[in-house]
Amino acid sequence: MDAVQDSKTKKENKEEKGKNLIQKIQDKIPDRDEQFEYVSIAVRLLVVFWSGALVTLNYLPKIPGLTSGEKQDITFPASLLASSLASFGLEKSAKKKGDGTYSVNSEDKPMNRKDIEAYLKSQDVIRVDNRFTLVPQGTEVSQSRIDPITNRPIGPDGKLV
């Protein structure tokens, strides 16, 4: 009896060894949405480590065989690092006060609806006509257009009158 169970466990072990990473994930996590979440987290972590390594290597002195010692443009990896960390909920914080607390400058805050409406009331609004004529608000534009070839007026439908 033990020999039969041993042969079954050996076959199961061989099947486990023959499975690739994706098959193992599918066996352990049957829900497809949850599988995508784990893969998404793995990809984001890979991007964080890769971009973090590039940014770090840029600030290190010359390492033979690894870096040239020259400063490179790291805008792209730095933006990937910032956006990947933001996807995990880590974002740039506000400036520190002298007492160690953080405060957000009121100029850095986005405008809310009331602020936008108050701002627009104090501004002159310009309406753009379909002929790209700037017309001040409250005035009407006459629609009398004349055909340059026949010198006949053109109606609102675009046909000669």
27-54 pLDDT tens trace: 888 787 888 888 888 899 999 999 998 8
Name the packing angle between helices 32-59 and 21-28 (round to 10°).
130
Q: How many residues does the chain have?
A: 161
Q: 35 and 74: one domain?
A: yes
Largest Cα span, the chain: 108
How many domains in the chain? 2
Among the listed residues 38, 51, 41, 50, the one whose alpha carbon sits nearest the alpha carbon of residue 88: 41
Q: What whole-number distance in Å separates Cα of residue 134 and Cα of residue 46?
A: 52
Position 9 confidence tier, pLDDT thresholds 50, 70, 90: low
| Domain extent for 134 | 113-154
Residues 40 and 71 reside in one and the same domain: yes
Cβ atoms of 54 and 77 closer than 8 Å: yes
- Whole-model pTM: value is 0.44
The reply to whether 44 and 88 lie within a common domain is yes
For the segment 50-88, what is each residue's pLDDT rounded down to a tens digit? 999 888 888 877 777 776 767 778 889 889 988 888 888
